[in-house]
Amino acid sequence: MCFAHDARPPDLPRDLVLPRLAGGAGAEIVEVTAADGTRFSAAVADPGRPGAVGVGIIPDVRGLYPFYIELAERFAAAGHPAVAIDPFGRTAGLGPRDEHFEYRPHVDATRPESVQADLGAALALLAQRTGAAGRATVGFCFGGRHAFLAATNPELALDGAIGFYGALDPARLGDTSPLFHTEEMRCPVLGLFGGADRAIPTEQVQEFDRRLGEAGVPHEIVVYPGAPHSFFDRSYEEHAEASEDAWRRVLGFLATLARTEVGARA
């Protein structure tokens, strides 16, 4: 399990909230249809500023629950259109999910190809509704692994991929571990990990960093000493400094992508 059901994303640093959006941009729960006809739920938050990099959020095993709906609103408050998908619509039906969601059989039935298909449909809808110019993804735990793997998909044409404590364990994940796919990654990668995360040993993070470097993938890997798995949670007051730094790195990463996009269009 990643976050508790009553977890909430950390507030944005005040200087990163756009003045006219200080109250945030409320998320709307919508129904999205993937290319193969699968219907799933998503939460869309529109900052009302077309042209920014759109963010596709891939949740942890709890799926589309309040943490990720609010997270989409946080991104919108910082000026980035965002859509949080429910990755379990193919087996669990339409969401959002509540605290009684039995996620394990749906996690076991999920495949990278289906998550990427749903992410692509959600990002296309986001661009249509908000005018988002670029596209990036951010995922957490289960979703972090899928965010890293999405960087390998040429059809998604991602500008960047961000993973918070994305699972890496090759013994448990087999050939779906991101460790085995760094040479296929086609966009910059930002990885954020806790130094006290028992599920993701620092050795695995270092190996991921090394393989990304050998593959020539532009990347930044950050390990927060003493931070546990799921440290990015407003209730973890002792890790507030790590959460603030993570926000700044994520939004700085997106700003760099936006500048790259502008240069490419010039």
Residue 248 clears pLDDT 80, i.e. is over it: yes
Residue 265 clears pLDDT 50, i.e. is over it: no
Q: In this predicted structure, what is the pLDDT of residue 255?
A: 94
pLDDT tens, residue by residue, 8-27: 899 999 898 887 655 556 89
Q: In this predicted structure, what is the pLDDT of residue 64?
A: 95
Calculate mean pLDDT across residues 82-91. Answer: 96
Residue 49 clears pLDDT 90, i.e. is over it: no
pLDDT tens, residue by residue, 92-142: 999 899 888 998 999 999 999 999 999 999 999 999 999 998 999 999 999
Produce one character per residue of 65-78: b if its CB has 16 or more CB atoms within 10 Å, e if not. bbbbbbbbbbbbbb
CATH number, domain 15-265 = 3.40.50.1820
Name the more confident of 180 and 99: 180
Q: Where are the domains of the chain?
A: 15-265
Q: Are 189 and 179 in contact (CB under 8 A)?
A: no
Residue 56 clears pLDDT 60, i.e. is over it: yes
Residue 221 clears pLDDT 90, i.e. is over it: yes
Residue 264 clears pLDDT 60, i.e. is over it: no
Q: Are 44 and 27 in contact (CB under 8 A)?
A: yes
Calculate mean pLDDT across residues 212-228. Answer: 97
Q: CA-to-CA distance for 3 and 22, rounded, in angstroms?
A: 26
Residue 67 clears pLDDT 60, i.e. is over it: yes
Q: What's the mean pLDDT when you consider all of the chain?
A: 92
Grade residue 51 by pLDDT with cuts at 50, 70 and 90: confident
Q: In this predicted structure, what is the pLDDT of residue 4?
A: 65
Token look-up 């959600």 returns 122
Residue 266 clears pLDDT 50, i.e. is over it: no
Q: CA-to-CA distance for 140 and 55, rounded, in angstroms?
A: 13
